[in-house]
Amino acid sequence: KCRKGPLDIVFVIDSSRSVRPFEFETMRRFMIDIIGNLDVGPNATRVGVIQYSSQVQNIFSLKTFFTWAEMEKAINSIIPLAQGTMTGLAIQYAMNVAFTTQEGARPLHKKIPRIAIIVTDGRPQDRVTEVATQARNAGIEIYAVGIQRADMNSLRAMASPPLEEHVFLVESFELIQQFGKQFQDKLCGVDMCMEQEHGCQHSCVSTPGSFYCECNPGYRLNVDGKTCSPIDACADGRHGCQHQCISARGSYSCHCRTGYYLNQDKKSCSMIDYCSFGNHSCQHECVSIPNGHYCRCRSGFTLQPDSRSCRATDLCNGVDHGCEFKCVSTEGSYRCMCPEGQQLQADGKACGQCGAGHVDLVMVIDGSKSVRPQNFELVKQFVNRIVDLLEVSPHGTRVGLVQYSSRVRTEFPLNKYHSADEIKKAVMEVEYMEKGTMTGLALKHMVEHSFSELEGARPVSHNVPRIGLVFTDGRSQDDISEWARRAKESGIIMFAVGVGKAVEEELRAIASEPVEQHFSYSADFTTMTHLVENFKLNICPEEGKGVTEIHSPCECEALVQFQTNTVAILQSLTEKNILWAHLLAQMTARLEALEKQTAHKK
Q: Work out the mean pLDDT of the chain and round it to a whole number.
A: 82
CATH of domain 7-188: 3.40.50.410
Strand 114-120 relative to strand 8-14, pairing: parallel
**Integer Cα distance of 85 and 350 in angstroms:** 105
Residue 172 pLDDT > 90:
no
> Whose CA is closest to 167, among 183, 181, 178?
183
**Integer Cα distance of 365 and 271 in angstroms:** 59
Mean pLDDT, range 85-98, rounded to an integer: 96
Strand 203-207 relative to strand 351-353, pairing: unpaired
Per-residue DSSP letter, 134: H
Within 8 A by CB and 6+ apart from 544, the residues are: 538
> Whose CA is closest to 473, among 387, 346, 373?
373
Percent of the chain, pLDDT > 90? 40
> Whose CA is closest to 120, among 164, 82, 85, 167?
85
> Whose CA is closest to 438, among 384, 499, 366?
366
Residue 574 pLDDT > 70:
no
Q: Give me the residues paired with residue 286 across strands.
A: 295
Going from the C-alpha of 192 to that of each of 129, 187, 196, the distances in angstroms are 35, 15, 6
Residue 500 pLDDT > 70:
yes
Residue 35 pLDDT > 60:
yes
Other C-beta atoms lying within 10 Å of the C-beta of residue 261? 10
Mean pLDDT, range 551-564, rounded to an integer: 58
Residue 26 pLDDT > 60:
yes
Exposed, middle or buried: residue 181 (CB in 10 Å: 0-12, 13-18, 19+)? Answer: exposed
> Whose CA is closest to 245, among 231, 258, 261, 256?
256
When computed from its CA atoms, the radius of gyration of the chain, rounded to whole angstroms, is 52
Predicted local distance difference test score (pLDDT) of residue 173 = 63
State the virtual CA torsion across 311, 315, 317, 320 in degrees, nearest 10: 160
Mean pLDDT, range 72-83, rounded to an integer: 95
pLDDT digits (tens, 9 = 90+) for 217-252: 888 899 999 999 888 888 877 788 999 998 877 678
pLDDT digits (tens, 9 = 90+) for 389-428: 778 888 888 999 999 999 999 999 999 999 999 999 999 9
Helices 176-187 and 21-36, interaxial angle, to 10°? Answer: 30
**Integer Cα distance of 89 and 95 in angstroms:** 10
pTM score above 0.75: no
Mean pLDDT, range 121-149, rounded to an integer: 91
Other C-beta atoms lying within 10 Å of the C-beta of residue 308? 16
Mean pLDDT, range 597-602, rounded to an integer: 57
Q: Own/partner pairs for 328-337, CB < 8 Å, 24+ apart?
A: 330/300, 331/300, 332/298, 332/299, 332/300, 332/301, 333/299, 333/300, 335/461
pLDDT digits (tens, 9 = 90+) for 152-164: 999 999 999 988 8
pLDDT digits (tens, 9 = 90+) for 362-380: 999 999 998 888 888 888 8
7-188 against 360-539: fold identical: yes
**Integer Cα distance of 414 and 445 in angstroms:** 14
pLDDT band at 502 (very low <50, low <70, confident <90, very high): confident
Predicted local distance difference test score (pLDDT) of residue 391 = 80
Predicted local distance difference test score (pLDDT) of residue 583 = 55
Question: Which of residues 581 and 537 earns the better pLDDT score?
Answer: 581
Going from the C-alpha of 97 to that of each of 49, 50, 104, 242, 511, the distances in angstroms are 12, 11, 10, 39, 88
**Integer Cα distance of 334 and 346 in angstroms:** 16
Domain residues of the chain, as ranges?
Answer: 7-188, 275-312, 360-539
Within 8 A by CB and 6+ apart from 464, the residues are: 358, 359, 360, 458, 555, 558
For domain 360-539, which architecture applies? 3-Layer(aba) Sandwich (3.40)
Within 8 A by CB and 6+ apart from 472, the residues are: 366, 437, 439, 496, 497, 498, 499, 502, 506, 507
CATH of domain 275-312: 2.10.25.10
